[in-house]
Structure 1
Amino acid sequence: MRRIWTNSPAALAVVLALAGCSTSKEKLLPHNDQTMLDIWTNETGGGARAGQNARQLLDARQSLRRPLTAADVKAAPVMAASYTRMAQNEIYSQFHRLPNPDLAMYVFPHLTGSDPAPIPGYTTVFPLYQRVQYAMPGERTETY
């Protein structure tokens, strides 16, 4: 018994898949004698029409500018700190620390070593419990 009707759709699918993958590099990505520097210069207003395009670009930028007020200058560091990515922000935003009260301890100035060297007073922080536990990302969302 011949099973031609079951083999023909599979063969047709293979032929179509291979035909879809066959194309030439030149047809897909045409190549000419322009370099990236030539393209950059032409697209950014360089070349023969550099003066006119540069003037239009400067005028467009100037229309978007506005002077900064004293309040803007004062608020800039605070605003930047709220969204600046730092290692500490990344860790605390993904792995929330589970409640473990921190105790602050002040160490008074003292002398240490065989030849007594003065150590200034300092404050250190350590957790109340032995280990600090962290939640998995998404495990704990409420603030504390």
Structure 2
Amino acid sequence: MSITAKFGIFMIIAASALAGCSTNKDEMLPPGYSNMLELWKGTDGESGVSRGSEARSTLRRGLSDSEQQAALSDDNSYSRTQESEISQQFPRLPNPDMVMYVFPHLAHGNTPVPGYSTVFPFYDQTQYAMPGERTEAL
């Protein structure tokens, strides 16, 4: 196949693709009084009926009993209750401490230092678990 034939076929395909995507201006912006908000909502200026809501209403159907129960349980699971306020969603993870006792001693040979204990936490900051990750009591 020659280059001119390939170019001709390409031009025919490109022209048909561009013609298929074209739209009449009266179809896109209907004549008459309409502001941008009405055009955005899909209503025309005179009747005020939304073409989009008419199309959606034909697709709507009622919920079955099981779907209504599932919707109610979903709503209740997100609401705040006294129990959910008291329980911790992100429980604190245990941070073990290492307790060390320093015996009485002399500092620099002649200054007495009394015995004392000190605490070293293993982690520098408090760590939290993700919801449901840790279920046992701390």
TM-score tier (shorter): 0.3 to 0.5
TM-score normalised by length of structure 1: 0.32
Larger proportion of helix: 1
The TM-score with structure 2 as length reference comes to: 0.33
